[in-house]
Amino acid sequence: MSRANHLDAAGRARMVDVGAKKPTLRRAVAGGEVCFNEEAFDALSSNRLAKGDALAVARLAGLQAAKRTADWIPLCHVVPLDHLEIEVELDDERRIAVVKATAAAHGRTGVEMEALVAVTAACLALYDMAKSLDRAIRIGDIRLLSKSGGRSGSFTAEP
């Protein structure tokens, strides 16, 4: 899709009209990482954080946020999701939480933004749950890992 599709005749940003596009199965996977100090990671991994079960909260935050992507990102369409899954795996060696979101929908526009918003919200929730033990928590490497469906075809990120 060219940049011009997102501009009106006067050069102002606008939402793309997808009404004429044929609905297809769209799927996207996004990922991100949250890095903790030793104390915070130990509390997270043993479910001893003062605020409760951070992994469950992160998954729920990701789910809630993805359903409201159009509220976060001004030019996104509201996409009725068929499936959304948030996974959080702990890497003991690197003291990180690896967050992955998979979004799917039958629609006229992709679900990359929904997957990316889900990951971002899940990472922010992990920060919120552990910040009392580590103010230097780092959130990073949030990116699209893969997508399929639609006119532009499939994409898989380099490892």
CB 110 within 8 A of CB 1: no
Cα three-residue angle 69-118-14, rounded to 5 degrees: 25
Q: Is 128 one of the annotated active-site residues of the chain?
A: yes
Q: Given 42, 82, 128, 141, which residue is catalytic?
A: 128
- Residue 44 makes CB contacts below 8 A (sequence gap 6+) with 36, 54, 55, 90, 97, 126, 129, 130
Distance, in Å, from the CA atom of 55 to the CA atom of 126, rounded to the nearest integer, reads 7
- Residue 67 has what DSSP assignment? T
Mind telling me the catalytic residues? Answer: 128
